[in-house]
Structures are given as C-alpha cells and as structure tokens.
Amino acid sequence: MLDEKARVCANQQVAQDLYLARLLAPRIASRAAPGQFVAVRVSAGFSPFLRLPLSICRTDSAAGTIDLLYEDVGPKTRALRQAGAAAELACLGPLGRGFAMPAPGHRALLVGGGIGLPPLVFMGEALGQAGRRDAVLLAGTRTAAKHLPDALLRAAAPVVRRATDDGTLGHGGLVTELLAEELEKGGDSAVYTCGPHAMMAAVARLCRDWDVACQASLEEYMACGFGVCVGCVVEAVPEAGASPYGRYRRICLDGPVFDTRQVRWEG
C-alpha cells in the first residue's frame, strides 16, 4: 500500500454524469491488479474530509498512469470533477484483494451494472494481455445516455452486449437476462460481476443454479479503506463450527472481491 502524490493528466466526461480521470501515479500503476481500488484525497482542506474510494479502471505501467471512472453524485466526486490538469491529489493504493484469473478453458463473463463497470474493464484488459480472447462483457444501465463509449468497452472484451432498463439501447431489460442467455450456450464459464447489490445478488443466484464460479466486487461506503474502522462490512455465509466473530467481512481488506458463495446476499 502506497500513499502517492498523483498528478491529474486528464479529467473528461464520457457519459451522462460519468467522468474518467487519468492520474500519473507510477508506483501504484506498476502494482495494481484488476479488482483493486484506490482512495483519493480530493481536497487539501477539511471538506470533504474523508478520501474517495474508486475502483481502478485501467493502468498503463509504461506511462505510469491509472484511470478512474466515477459518477458525479456528491461533494467528493464533484471536487474530483473540478480538479484540472496538473492538480495534485494524494492517492492511497492499491488497496484490497482483486480478481482471480479463470481456470484454463473457462470463458470469462463480465457482468456490470452502472458504475460497477470499472473493475470489469480492468479485468477484461488483463485477460486480453494474458492471451485470453474469449471474454464477454455484459453492461447494463438505466438508459442509453449512461452507457460508456464503445472505445472504452471494446478494449475490455471482444464481445460487448448492452442492456438498458428503458430499452433505449441494446437489450431492453435486465443485464442478468443477457447472462442467462450466455450461460444457456453451455461450456465452462467463470463469472465476474460488479454493480448494484440487487443485480449482484441476482447474478449470484444464477451462477448457483448453473453451478458456475462467480466472483463479485462489492461496493460499500468506506472511511479508511484499509480495515481499521470496520465500517464497510458484509455478512458472510456462516461456516460450520466457526466463531460468531467471523460473521462479517471487511470489504476494503478481505475484499472487495469475494466468491459469491461466501456472501449472505439476503438478510
């Protein structure tokens, strides 16, 4: 874990309320793995005080840069959006446990909803660099204006399928319906998912029914980002004979990536 002074190289809008920031952070870029995240201090003052946790969307170790995709939804993201080129931001990372590569011969199905796509884009590019050319990216949003541009998604997977809740682009319906279609094609698959809790719970149920391995990158509000405050926890499926103290897992430290069979999705 490094606390690196990162310089903003670019910060531009890529979809409705969605922005992509490129930071020069060579030490983090050289160490980051798909599924990990960084915690960015977006202000030198006291407001906003806590750092902003963001999944890493892409790295370029040669250029020393990391890409962070975020949605402008509050004070922290607004402060990041207003950070101009050459601004310096303290960046803590890489943090958390990332994705494990699929077993040989297993096709990767990347299922993302809304702002949950960044770690899947990173994973897809890592698969391509490893010579795995059979990944499928399934991207779901509320409406067409929220979908990321083709140039960003095509770099993550040879096949990209889109879904919108309102039917304005691609499949009209849920992204989990696209996942069901892919699973029905048969063959060995490994599923990776990130997005709203309800969507990931539905993905987990589908994978359980099809007996397919699934890893989920969980999203939760984080204060410290490295396990000290114990504020970002998820309830785990209890193991026989386990201590009740192991009932919860810290998303920032034990995750954010979990095997979906380890998570209690419904209370």
* Residue 239 reports pLDDT greater than 80: no
Claim to verify: residue 175 and residue 246 sit in the same structural domain: yes
Half-sphere exposure of 60 (CA within 13 A, CB side): 10
* Residue 243 reports pLDDT greater than 80: no
Contact assessment for residue 49 and residue 41, using Cβ atoms and an 8 Å cutoff = no
Residue 34 CA to its chain's centroid (Å): 8
Claim to verify: residue 67 and residue 138 sit in the same structural domain: no
Of 142 and 239, which is predicted with more confidence? 142
- 42 in a structural domain: yes
**DSSP secondary-structure letter at 97?**
B
User: What domain range includes position 129?
Assistant: 107-262
Claim to verify: residue 190 and residue 134 sit in the same structural domain: yes
Contact assessment for residue 134 and residue 108, using Cβ atoms and an 8 Å cutoff = yes
- 67 in a structural domain: yes
Q: How would residue 121 be classed by pLDDT, with cut points 50, 70 and 90?
A: very high
% of the chain residues with pLDDT over 90: 82
Give the separation between CA 157 and CA 72, rounded to whole angstroms.
26
Claim to verify: residue 158 and residue 244 sit in the same structural domain: yes
Give the separation between CA 188 and CA 4, rounded to whole angstroms.
40
Contact assessment for residue 82 and residue 43, using Cβ atoms and an 8 Å cutoff = no
Claim to verify: residue 32 and residue 120 sit in the same structural domain: no
- 160 in a structural domain: yes
Q: How would residue 171 be classed by pLDDT, with cut points 50, 70 and 90?
A: very high
89: tokens are 């931001």
Contact assessment for residue 190 and residue 169, using Cβ atoms and an 8 Å cutoff = no
Q: How would residue 217 be classed by pLDDT, with cut points 50, 70 and 90?
A: very high
Which residue in 256, 103, 133 sits closest to 193, CA to CA? 256
The CATH number linked to 81 is 2.40.30.10
Q: What is the mean pLDDT of residues 237-260?
A: 84
Sign of CA dihedral 145, 148, 151, 156: negative
Q: How would residue 92 be classed by pLDDT, with cut points 50, 70 and 90?
A: very high
36: tokens are 């990990």
- 102 in a structural domain: no
Claim to verify: residue 157 and residue 240 sit in the same structural domain: yes
Among 24-28, 108-112, 193-197, 229-233, whose mean pLDDT is lowest?
A: 229-233
Claim to verify: residue 228 and residue 251 sit in the same structural domain: yes
* Residue 241 reports pLDDT greater than 70: no
* Residue 251 reports pLDDT greater than 70: yes
| pLDDT at site 23 | 98
The CATH number linked to 194 is 3.40.50.80
| pLDDT at site 33 | 97
Residue 113 CB contacts under 8 Å (≥ 6 apart), including other chains: 139, 140, 141, 175, 194, 195, 196, 199, 200
| pLDDT at site 52 | 95
Cβ count within 10 A of residue 25: 27
Of 239 and 55, which is predicted with more confidence? 55
Claim to verify: residue 240 and residue 162 sit in the same structural domain: yes
- 113 in a structural domain: yes
How do 136-141 and 107-113 pair as beta strands?
parallel
* Residue 245 reports pLDDT greater than 70: no
What is the domain count for the chain?
2
* Residue 118 reports pLDDT greater than 70: yes
Residue 137 CB contacts under 8 Å (≥ 6 apart), including other chains: 110, 112, 120, 121, 124, 153, 156, 157, 159, 160, 161
Cβ count within 10 A of residue 172: 12
Packing angle, helices 197-210 and 175-184, rounded to 10: 10
Claim to verify: residue 69 and residue 134 sit in the same structural domain: no
Claim to verify: residue 39 and residue 112 sit in the same structural domain: no
**DSSP secondary-structure letter at 253?**
H
Whole-number mean pLDDT of the chain?
93
Exposed, middle or buried: residue 142 (CB in 10 Å: 0-12, 13-18, 19+)? Answer: middle
The amino acid at 87:
A
Give the separation between CA 21 and CA 79, rounded to whole angstroms.
12
Claim to verify: residue 147 and residue 65 sit in the same structural domain: no
Domain end, chosen from 95, 127, 142, is at: 95
- 101 in a structural domain: no
Q: How would residue 247 be classed by pLDDT, with cut points 50, 70 and 90?
A: confident
Which residue in 255, 132, 113 sits closest to 198, CA to CA? 113
Claim to verify: residue 130 and residue 78 sit in the same structural domain: no
Domain end, chosen from 68, 95, 122, is at: 95
Give the separation between CA 189 and CA 106, rounded to whole angstroms.
5
Residues 63-89 have pLDDT tens digits of 999 999 999 999 999 999 999 888 999
Domain end, chosen from 95, 121, 143, is at: 95
